Amino acid sequence: MIGIIDYGLGNLTSVAGAVEKVGFEPKISGEAAVLGDCGKLILPGVGAFGDGMRNLRQRNLVEPLTELVMKAGKPILGICLGFQLLAKKSEEFGDHEGLGWIDAKVTGLKPDDKTLRIPHVGWNELYQSADSILFDDVPDESLFYYVHTYKMEPADPSIRIGECDYGGRFTAAVQSGSVFGTQFHPEKSQRYGLTLLRNFLEKS
């Protein structure tokens, strides 16, 4: 069973549908005990960083999830806002402390080309900058779907496995031990998004 973390922000049903489509059973829950019984976790999310962390704290999920992920080593995939929440801090609408599972900060997306619109919405190439199980049967420069205004900047560039170019390169995917994250939405990225999701569920 695949635990999809419900903290009040996120496209839970579309992620659950994608999990089912690649042959796994999703369980949407905001209860730590239920999530602890799941083999792997997905942290989706759409919205602001501060709201996401507030909701996680209000549901008393931060400490139990940290125990599961950082101490027990349960694999997790963060998606979009869920990806950014993995970082130590964010500057979105003020300074906010994140989950801190990845040594990184979240900063505003500022394309060199001022004609490019913010937020970044649409299909763009994913440049694979390191080998990862996520990319098995996913060709380099495949298109994935993005919707975001902020980006993650890892302190250790070696965990960066994928980049996107939107008026300059930014981190689009990371892998640090059993912690994975994508700025793009695999569940909305058709064939290769589903392939990447299946790779995480089968191989992490």
Output the pLDDT for position 10.
Answer: 80
Q: Does domain 2-203 have CATH number 3.40.50.880?
A: yes
Average pLDDT for residues 86-106, to the nearest whole number? 95
Residues designated as active site? 80, 185, 187
- Helix or strand (DSSP H, E) at 70: none
Say which residue, 104 or 46, is predicted with more confidence. Answer: 104
Question: Contact at 8 Å (CB) between 4 and 21?
Answer: no
Q: Is the pLDDT of residue 114 over 90?
A: no
The share of the chain scoring above pLDDT 70, in percent, equals 100
Q: Could you tell me the end-to-end alpha-carbon distance of the chain, in angstroms, rounded to an integer?
A: 14
Bridge partners (DSSP) listed for residue 147: 121
- Per-residue pLDDT band at 9 (split at 50, 70, 90): confident
pLDDT number for residue 94: 87
